[in-house]
Amino acid sequence: MSSTNVVVDVIADGVADFLRRLCDCERKRGELGDRYALVSVADEVIRAANDGRSIDLGNVRVEVAKRLFRRIVTVRFMGRSMTVDEFLVEVSKARSALAWYENDCSSEAVLEPIYRTDDRPTIEYVRANYDAFKTICAGSIPDLAYPPDFPAYAKMGIEQGIRKYSP
């Protein structure tokens, strides 16, 4: 096996691992959509619950029922009724999941398999075309235009990595 083939294989493995991580993060982003919605309105909901006022924020509603010497505050989130304490637990879980996502799915974390290839042209090319590689996650093959002076071994490694990637 020639040294060029070894380098091409290393790049292909790095690209395939990069695509697995990228597509996994894209899928998880879709799953976290309702948590983004929850966290975005959490402060307003907590403020309304503390003030004892009813509000409707789309997916989240605060309902206040006044009784003789107290008030009962109910939070409705995605059709589910819960107490303020239960809502705070859900907000805490959502913030934790989003923090994990932001850490593990940052562009630098996703690009880590490419950095392991230790090949500067490949690293720069993948960083510059990061969004084009996201289309692979949706099942399409991006039109990757390589610069005229791009090394042939890097091009072969990237294309082999794309073929090697299996969702």
Domain locations along the chain: 3-32+104-164, 36-92
The dihedral sign for the CA sequence 45, 49, 50, 55: positive
Distance CA 164, CA 17 (A): 9
Q: Determine phi and psi for 56, rounding to 5 degrees.
A: -130, 115
Distance CA 61, CA 154 (A): 54
Q: What is the pLDDT of residue 1?
A: 65
How many residues in the chain? 167
Nearest in space to 124 (alpha carbons), one of 161, 142, 151, 162: 151
Structure token digits, residue 97:
């999941």
Question: Which residues are bridge partners to 129 per DSSP?
Answer: none
Residue 28, burial from CB neighbour count under 10 angstroms (0-12, 13-18, 19+) = middle
Q: What is the pLDDT of residue 72?
A: 84
Q: What is the pLDDT of residue 167?
A: 66
Nearest in space to 26 (alpha carbons), one of 135, 144, 155: 135
Per-residue tens of pLDDT for the chain, all 167 residues: 678 788 999 999 999 999 999 999 999 988 888 888 888 888 898 888 888 888 888 888 888 888 777 888 888 887 889 888 898 898 999 999 889 998 999 999 999 999 999 999 999 999 999 999 999 998 888 888 999 999 999 999 999 999 998 76
Q: What is the pLDDT of residue 32?
A: 85
Q: What is the pLDDT of residue 12?
A: 95
Distance CA 15, CA 154 (A): 10
DSSP assignment of 102-158, as one string?
HHHTSHHHHTHHHHTT--HHHHHHHHHTHHHHHHHHTT-----PPPTT--HHHHHHH
